[in-house]
Amino acid sequence: MSEVSHLAEAVENHFSSPKASSFVHFVTVSDGLTGAQAAQAPAERFNSVWAVTNHVAFWMDVTRASLVGEQVDLAAWGLSEMGSGWPPLGQVNDASWQAARQRALDVNHALASAIRTLNDESLAQPSEQTWGQPPYQLILSIYSHNSHHTSEILCIRHMLGLWVDHEWV
């Protein structure tokens, strides 16, 4: 398997696969919540599960777009500028939460597809569209970013008493 394939598989499976490996994945920690639960922050200055979900989806979309040479449509994310990439929740209800969660999963699949369009030689070639970084560095950064925030979601849920049960492989 090529390095590009390995990276795409890791980014996708460690976010969207319900089978936990060394940690539980986004698809599992974000499952089973109502819109109200997902929008609830455990205390002042904490994020909600929904806010984190929008944040990781936004940055995966930014990464995807940079890898394929596109611009991110900030208006589609409810943002006027990139800033720190925390799109608003919008209307808080179950349907909107499920749409936000699904959007994160869809953007994750789109990011993995964008990675698969690269070749192993291009992974180490910095470019202007990837902010002067080689693509492999950008891919590993978003992988780490997703892992960090998935753990944050798990912690938020636990602080709210919304425990996550999962099986290890």
The closest alpha carbon to 15, from 41, 68, 52, belongs to 52
Q: What is the pLDDT of residues 126-161, one digit of tens each?
A: 988 898 999 999 999 999 999 999 999 999 999 999
Please give the domain boundaries of the chain with CATH numbers for all domains: 3-71+90-159 (1.20.120)
Count Cβ atoms within 10 A of the Cβ of residue 37 and give its class: 0-12 exposed, 13-18 middle, 19 or more buried.
Answer: middle
> pTM higher than 0.75 for the full model?
yes
Closest Cα partner for 158 from 25, 37, 36, 17? Answer: 37
CA distances from 12 to 83, 91, 110, 128 (A): 25, 28, 9, 25
Q: What is the pLDDT along the chain (169 residues), one digit of tens a residue?
A: 799 999 999 999 999 988 867 778 999 999 999 999 999 999 999 999 999 999 999 999 999 999 999 999 999 999 999 888 999 999 999 999 999 999 999 999 999 999 999 999 999 999 888 989 999 999 999 999 999 999 999 999 999 999 987 766 5
Q: For 80, list phi and psi in degrees, rounded to 5.
A: -95, -20
Whole-angstrom distance, CA of residue 99 vs CA of residue 56: 14
Q: Say if CB 135 and CB 67 are below 8 A apart.
A: yes
